[in-house]
């Protein structure tokens, strides 16, 4: 599994700089796919759970190299 404390200690031990971003990215690599799995790929619902704008979620997914296939919700379909 993912050991956050071990990651932070390793970064500190190696004298790394910019560890906030590195740790945040490591957390997002675990967090975002789990939340999307929980919502069965519904990005609108996932962004609500995460407290993120859906565009922000999609940007984060792209920067992590994760799939950003658009999931159309009933709400989205009603807007079209």
Looking at the chain, how many residues does it have?
80
Cβ-contact 50, 19 below 8 angstroms:
no
Which pLDDT value is given to residue 70? 56
What is the structure's pLDDT at 1? 72
The tokens for 50 are 């995460």
Domains defined for the chain, CATH in brackets: 4-79 (1.10.10.60)
Query: Which pLDDT score is estimated for 75?
Result: 46
pLDDT at 76: 44
Which 3 state secondary structure label does DSSP give 38?
A: helix
- What is the per-residue pLDDT for 69? 67
Per-residue pLDDT of the chain (80 residues; tens, 9 = 90+): 789 999 999 999 999 999 999 999 999 999 999 999 999 999 999 999 999 999 999 999 999 988 766 554 444 444 44
Predicted local distance difference test score (pLDDT) of residue 25: 94
């Amino acid at each position: 599994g993912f050991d956050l404390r071990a990651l932070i200690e390793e970064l500190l031990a190696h004298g790394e700089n910019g560890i906030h971003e590195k740790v945040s990215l490591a957390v997002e690599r675990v967090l975002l796919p789990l939340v999307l799995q929980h919502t069965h790929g519904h990005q609108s619902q996932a962004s609500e759970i995460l407290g993120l704008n859906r565009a922000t979620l999609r940007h984060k997914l792209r920067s992590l190299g994760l799939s950003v296939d658009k999931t159309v919700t009933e709400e989205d379909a009603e807007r079209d």
